[in-house]
Structure formats: C-alpha cells, structure tokens
Amino acid sequence: MEEFKFLNKRRKLPGRLLKIERENFDKFKIAITALEGYSCLGDGELSCLLALIEEKADIVATDDMKARKYIINKLSTKNCIGTLGIMNFMIKETIITPAESKSILNDMLEEGYWLDDKIVNNFLHKLFPDEKF
C-alpha cells in the first residue's frame, strides 16, 4: 500500500484507496489463512483480497507476484495490477509523462521500495528505447 500512497503524493491516482476495518480484517484473516494456499499472503494482499471479495474494489494492486498468482488463480480474476502497471496506465491516460514516471520510479527505489531490476529495466526500456538501463 505504501507504494501506491507514494504514487498518489506525486499525482492523483485514478480511483481511491480503501480503508479496511481492523475487526473485519482480523476475522477474514483467520478464516482465509486456514484455506490451502493463502497462508503465504501478507496482510496487505489479504486486505486487497477482502476488498475484492466484498465487492468494495474492482482491482487488486500489489507488486507481490506470489500474491497476484494466488488471487488470479483462486478468484478466477485478472484484476491485479502492480506499481509499474499503474504507472503505465497513468502514462497512457496522460496523467504523467514517461519522464515523470521515470523520476517517480527512481524516487521510490531511492526510498527503499523494491522491484525486480529486470522488470524495472524492461519497463524503462519500453519508455526510453534509446537509453541503456
């Protein structure tokens, strides 16, 4: 969730961030982690999953590939997106420019956010094919 708050500081994200009530989340966590395959999900992914199940959210935003695979497979949904997917959407909708996206991404990485180097380089190469990363 922190990654998306970071993006939202720089530019207004389309959509909204949902707040999950702690009591509802705690009950959901106990129930869902007892099911096969869900024990590997962190609180952030579980809260996204709860919002999706309760139909308060149309999409789950997470950079955790393991969580994405579980959500896609268990809920038969493809409504998962990560930080770079959100940035790509924002570029296509002209909310930010490719240069702003690169700057935001660099700021995030400097702040300690982790994204796989290969994925980051591929994303940047698509935006700036003439530059080396």
d(CA 122, CA 100): 17
Contact status, residue 81 vs residue 61, Cβ threshold 8 Å: yes
Q: Rounded to two decimals, what is the model's pTM?
A: 0.67
Q: Is residue 21 part of a domain?
A: yes
Q: Is residue 107 part of a domain?
A: no
Segments forming the whole domain that contains residue 1:
1-94
Task: Report phi then psi at 61, rounded to 5.
Answer: -110, 115
Q: Is residue 129 part of a domain?
A: no
Q: Is residue 130 part of a domain?
A: no
In the structure encoding, which two tokens stand for residue 1, read together?
């969730």
DSSP readout, 12-47?
Answer: PPSS-PPPPPHHHHHHHHHHHTTSTT-TT--HHHHH
Number of domains present in the structure of the chain: 1
* Interval 66-118: pLDDT, tens: 777 877 777 777 778 888 988 998 899 898 999 999 999 999 899 888 888 99
Residue keyed to tokens 């007892």: 34
Q: Is residue 59 part of a domain?
A: yes
Q: Is residue 50 part of a domain?
A: yes
* Interval 14-71: pLDDT, tens: 555 566 677 777 877 777 776 666 676 777 777 777 777 776 667 777 787 777 787 7
Residue closest to 13 by CA, chosen among 85, 64, 98, 119: 85
